[in-house]
Copies of this chain bind each other. A is one copy, B any other.
Amino acid sequence: MKLFKPLTLLLFVGFILTSCAETSSEVKVKDMTELASAIDNAQPGDVIVMSNGVWKNAEIEFVANGLANNPIVLKAETAGEVSIEGQSYLKIAGQFLEVRDLYFKNGYTPINSVIQFKKDKKNAAYDCKVINCVIENFTQLDRTKKDHWVEFWGQRNELRSCYIAGKSNNGPTVRAELKGNQHANCYHVIADNYFGPRPRRGGPRGETMQLGDSYTSMVPSYIQVKNNLFYECNGEVEIISSKTNYNSFSNNVFYKCEGSLVLRHGNYASIDSNWFIGDDNSNNIGGIRVINTGHWITNNYFYNLKGKEFRSPLAVMNGIPKSPQNRYNQVTDVVVAHNTWMNCETPLQFSVGSNVDKIDVLPKSEIRSALPIRTTIANNIIYGSGSDVLKFHDKQGDILFQNNYVNAEVNFKGFIASEIQVENDKALVPLVGMKDKSADLFDGFNFASIKTDIFSNGRSKNQAGAICSEQFDVMQVFDFNKYGASWFSPNNKNHKANKITVKSSKELYEALANTNNGDTILLDAEVFELEKPLEIVKSVVIASPSENKSNVTFVASDIETALILGPGVDLHLKNVSLKGNKNMNCMMPDMHNMSIASNVFVENCEIQDFKSIYKSIKGSFADKIQVLNSSMSNLSSGFIVNSEVDAKGDYNVEFLILKNNQIDNIKNEFVDFYRGGYDESTIGGNFVFENNKVKNAGKTGSKEILLQTHGIINVHILDNNFSSIKSGMVAKLWGEKNNLESGNVIQGNSKIVTEEFLTQKLMY
């Protein structure tokens, strides 16, 4: 017998608003002058049509006044065929305006936002819409430069059916501003959008959405975020940072996003009927993090989440007593009911962030000791976590647990072992529900208001968990084509990778200049002697055609950097021997364009005679730098990723992974991986140093450290062999964080020390 009966024949009908102008006149414009003139003269009902083609350096100010039944529309001649490129932006101000079908790409905004719902301090947008547009990789050349891609001001504006992806620089992708009565009670709608990949930023200010800030945390905003897809929004620990009151988040899909929906400031949020879907390979994918008062978290489905603490599937935080406005208010009056957690690790975590043990190292106004109170956890299902369903990071507080059903015995009041059914029917996510349809439920204050389930079906025969109905169309949720702009598909850009064989330095330079992303260059000669750096502008594999290593030697003494990494490239080196001299860095990002992270993968190589192997620049970022099964020798240093010196929580690489290598003759430190600034909601970077053999390394001195990882949260030093280490310490670990070592053998006097607490500069 089937648990549920999905309606497989239901078709998804795209939700496209059409303007209802009856007396409209259509004006076609072909350049900025005509466009400005058309806007100036626009009357309610008018449709301004931008000619197909590239609009470069377009500074569009769409300032006009339509009517409720007769908006003024600005649209592309053909959806997607009007591309806004170069240094461009769109400002919208006035009433009842609609923008449709535009494509922002190949550029960035010269101001603080790409689309901004205001013209200036006095003129904001009301009842205006941006529909069916795309903003793709429209990111600043300098990653540290801050902007927003969609900035909400005014009231009752909408962002609907848009695709937005690829923001690498500083600043949330979507930002709602609420400073001033004319922007409060704004009731904006953000619906049916596809928020595509946002790469890891290496520090804070990489939210996909931030609604308000701590200064406006008392403002009622009533923003609705609904029916959106968030896919690989990995910018930072907060996918969405809700900082005002009465926001609602419903029917969204969070798929493989390394972060959480965080109720950071503000109160009385509603989080209903969302899907939080993880990935077996990531411990960084979270669910919902709760701070403040009066939130209702209902009908949500959490699947396969491995995040812990701040990134727990449900993280209910400790507050600071009488908290300063920009810190952590106590959690009170929160309801978590009718949710389902499936295959999550310790899904329910309470008093997350408790730091009462740090009372001696932090000011009193930083101590999160206020336990969650008047909070109800009821009628939920937890499946596949075994008995490991909840964790308290402090005392329990005043939390009521009632009628939560688990497919295991849990020795805690309010959790009931029960038979739970699983249905694996075609969906991205297996679905679970109660076998006993009449199992008792808790009837809390106002629980009658939870009228529907995650599929918006009625709860007339009420049950625990997010799914109550027996008939639903699960594909309506997981058909990713329904999200974003109708004319745009994010997945049509693959091309077939080519292999190019080169036999001389000249051919190598030519090949590098002409490859497409994903191509492989095979070094078909024993020696390449190079007079210039290699500029890597596309993702490329450089390899020897056989197991024998090809030798690449940089012979010109005036080369500063041997391999220069352009924005967004993945460089793979396989079976190559690289040789430089003591004044030359082996690899560095291109300091003229660091808009997007570039990555390095080295396997089975030899690297020798360099000043460093990899050196960061302020503002540069690598998602991953990985060296496996290689030898590195005769170096001043190894990996110098320490350029973010502003103590703002930023850092230059997310994952630095060094495994199974031979390391010999290193004059100074081998690794200097640095993150400054205290903001413990941030949880990067990551350093793995495993199974390496290191000898003759380090600077002489008892306070010198061979592997420096100041401020890095996750440090794993495992099973290495160290000999003839001159520095007093191999590493200095940060005990309270995820810094650990084991299985290391150190011959000689150097050692690995652990310091429990690290005194850092407060960031706020």
Q: Which residues of A contact B (CB under 8 A)?
A: 179-182, 184, 214, 218-220, 245, 267-268, 292-294, 322-327, 329, 332-333, 335, 365, 374, 445-446
- Whether A322 contacts B324 by the Cβ 8 Å rule is yes
* B374→A180 contact, CB < 8 A: yes
Contacts of A179 in B (CB 8 A): 332-333, 374
Determine the distance from Cα of A333 to Cα of B185 in the docked complex, in whole angstroms. 13
Which chain B residue lies CB-closest to A217? B218
In the complex, the answer to whether A294 meets B182 with C-beta atoms within 8 Å is no
Residues of B within 8 A of A219 (CB): 267, 293-294
A335 — which chain B residues lie within 8 A by C-beta?
181
State in angstroms the CA–CA spacing of A184 and B335 once bound together.
14
C-alpha gap A220/B268 in the complex (Å): 9
In the assembled complex, which residues on chain B have CB atoms less than 8 Å from the CB atom of A365? 324, 365
Contact A329 B218 (CB under 8 A): yes
A182 CA to B182 CA in the complex, in Å?
A: 32
Measured in the bound complex, the distance between the Cα atoms of B374 and A182 in whole Å is 11
In the assembled complex, 8 residue pairs joining A and B whose CB atoms fall closer than 8 Å, in A order, are: A180-B445, A181-B333, A181-B445, A218-B329, A322-B324, A324-B325, A324-B365, A325-B329
Complex alpha-carbon distance, A268 and B180, angstroms: 12
State the oligomeric state as a number of copies.
Answer: 2
CA distance A413 to B685 in the complex (A): 55
6 A-B pairs closest in CB distance: A182-B445, A322-B325, A322-B324, A218-B267, A322-B326, A181-B333
Choose from B180, B323, B374 the contact partner of A325 (Cβ within 8 Å): B323
**Separation of A181 and B400 alpha carbons in the complex (Å):** 14
Contacts of A326 in B (CB 8 A): 322
Which residues of the partner chain B approach A329 to less than 8 Å between Cβ atoms? Answer: 218, 325
Q: How far is the CA of A444 from the CA of B629 in the complex (A)?
A: 70
Q: A322-B325, A323-B325 are in contact. List 6 more A-B contacts (CB 8 A).
A: A180-B374, A181-B445, A181-B446, A218-B218, A322-B326, A324-B324
Q: Complex Cα distance A326/B333, Å?
A: 19
Q: Which residues of B contact A184 (CB under 8 A)?
A: 294, 333
Interface centre among A179, A294, A335 (most CB of B within 10 A): A294
Is the Cβ of A322 less than 8 Å from the Cβ of B214? yes
Q: How close is A359's CB to chain B, nearest CB, in angstroms?
A: 17
User: Taking CB as reference atom, which chain B residue is nearest A321?
Assistant: B325
Does the CB pair A333–B180 fall under 8 Å? yes
Contacts of A446 in B (CB 8 A): 181-182
**Chain B residues with CB below 8 A from A268, complex form:** 220
State A412–B182 Cα separation when bound (angstroms): 26
A141 to B: closest C-beta gap in Å: 34
Identify the closest chain B residue to A245 (Cβ).
Answer: B218
Give the distance to chain B from A30, nearest Cβ to Cβ, in Å: 38
Give the residue name and chain of the B residue nearest to A329 (CB). Answer: B325
A762 → B minimal CB distance (Å): 12
- Name the CB-closest residue of B to A334: B181
Give the one of A214, A267, A333, A365 with max B CB within 10 A: A333
B contact residues around A445 at 8 Å (CB): 180-182
With both beta carbons as reference points, the residue of chain B lying nearest to A214 in the complex is identified as B322
Cα–Cα distance between A325 and B370 once the two chains are bound (Å): 13
Chain B contacts for A218, CB-based, 8 A: 218, 245, 267, 292-294, 329
How distant is the Cα of A332 from the Cα of B446 in the complex, in angstroms?
A: 33
A368–chain B nearest beta-carbon distance, Å: 14
Please indicate the chain B residues that have their CB under 8 angstroms from the CB of A323 in the complex. 324-325
| A220 proximity list for chain B (CB < 8 A) | 268
Residue of chain B at shortest CB distance from A182? B445
Q: How far is B267's CA from A218's CA once the two chains are assembled, in angstroms?
A: 7
State the Cβ distance, A446 to closest chain B Cβ, in Å. Answer: 6
Measured CB to CB, the closest approach of chain B to A263, in angstroms, equals 12
Q: Which of A181, A184, A293, A325 has the most CB of B within 10 A?
A: A181
In whole angstroms, what is the CA distance A332 to B212 when docked? 15
Cβ contact within 8 Å between B324 and A181: no
- Least Cβ distance of A711 to chain B in Å? 24
Write the nearest CB–CB distance from A709 to chain B, whole angstroms: 31
Q: Chain B nearest CB: distance from A337 CB in Å?
A: 12
A221 to chain B: closest CB distance in Å? 12
A488 shortest CB reach to chain B, Å: 37
Q: How far is the CA of A160 from the CA of B651 in the complex (A)?
A: 62
- Cα distance, A89 to B292, chains bound together (Å): 35
Instruction: Give the distance to chain B from A486, nearest Cβ to Cβ, in Å.
Output: 36
**A122 closest partner in B (C-beta):** B445
Assembled-state Cα–Cα distance A445/B185 (Å): 13
CA distance A362 to B220 in the complex (A): 33
> Closest chain B residue to A373 by CB distance?
B179
Residues of B near A245 (CB, < 8 A) are: 218
Minimum C-beta distance from A764 to chain B (A): 8
**Whole-angstrom distance from the CB of A452 to the nearest CB of chain B?**
20
Inter-chain CA distance A218–B218, complex, in Å, is 7
Smallest Cβ distance from A571 to chain B, in angstroms?
44
Give the complex CA separation of A184 and B329 in angstroms.
18
Task: Across the interface, name the chain B residue whose C-beta is closest to A330.
Answer: B215
